Structures are given as C-alpha cells and as structure tokens.
Amino acid sequence: MSGVSSKFKRKISSEIRMFQNEWETDYFVVPNKNNAATCLICRENIILKKLQYFASFSSKSFDETFPPGSSLRNEKLSIFKRVLHQQQNVMSVALSQDSAVTKASYEICYILGKHMKPFSDAEIVKECFDNAANIFFDKFSNKRKYYLI
C-alpha cells in the first residue's frame, strides 16, 4: 500500500470522543479522568468507544440477570457507583493524611531549627504541638475543642 503510513496512530484527543450519559445505564460504565471509562462490573478501564463498551458488557451476561429498564438494574447501578466512589475516596483521604503528616514534620523541623534548641524545652514542645495540631485539625470547624493551648 503506497502512501499509507504504518506509524499513524489514532488518538482520542484528535477524534474528540465524548462520553454519552446513556452508556452509564446501558453498559454500566462511568467516565474517569484519563479520557476513558471505568466498567462498574469489573473495574477495568475501557477506551471511549461504544463497541468496546458493548464487548465488555456482553461478556458479563449482565442483561439476563438485570433486564434493561428495570428498577433492579437502576438499583444495582447506584450501588456500583456508590462503591466505586467510596473506594476512590479511601485513596484520596489516605493521600491527604500523608501530606498533612509531612507538612507537620516540616513545620516542627523549622521550629527546632529556628530556635536552635533540642526538642526538650517545654515552650518549644508546646509551639511544635500547636503548629502540628493546626495542620492535622485544619478541616475541622471545632478544632480548638480537640487540643488545649
């Protein structure tokens, strides 16, 4: 074949593929941040093509157990979406806690370096604890209740 490049690769961004909302109820897929979709049944990432959704969905024989348009199917869809959302939230909470611990340790090191004293002076311990508590309880509206100053 003359004139056809073997290195041409189709990209999602150049084809302007969009997720359609009816795919959620038809094929149990939800969009994710990577220009793809996540299958709620098997948790696999699928590219944005209707044929890919249909192939993934039909291999699970989900239509037989939960007929299209039934309330049971809509209920199962909401359960799958809630479980996926909870799993994603667990990771984001863990990452935010790790970053808070790192930030607090940097603050404590800064205070110790600023005063050039060991961590044995009562005033420095109190200042370190106050700064760390401010970081850890930052998202609480009643954070003063949890520690005394």
More confident residue, 7 or 39: 39
- What is the rounded distance in angstroms from the CA atom of residue 39 to the CA atom of residue 51? 13
Give the best-scoring range by mean pLDDT among 57-66, 85-94, 138-147: 85-94
Percent of the chain with pLDDT over 90: 4
Give me the mean pLDDT over the 81-103 stretch. 79
**19 and 37 in contact (C-beta within 8 Å)?**
yes
Which pLDDT value is given to residue 110?
Answer: 92
Give me the sign of the Cα torsion angle 122, 126, 132, 136: positive
Please state the domain extents for the chain: 15-65, 68-149
- What is the rounded distance in angstroms from the CA atom of residue 79 to the CA atom of residue 142? 33
Write out pLDDT tens, residues 17-66: 677 777 777 777 787 776 677 777 777 777 766 666 666 666 665 666 77
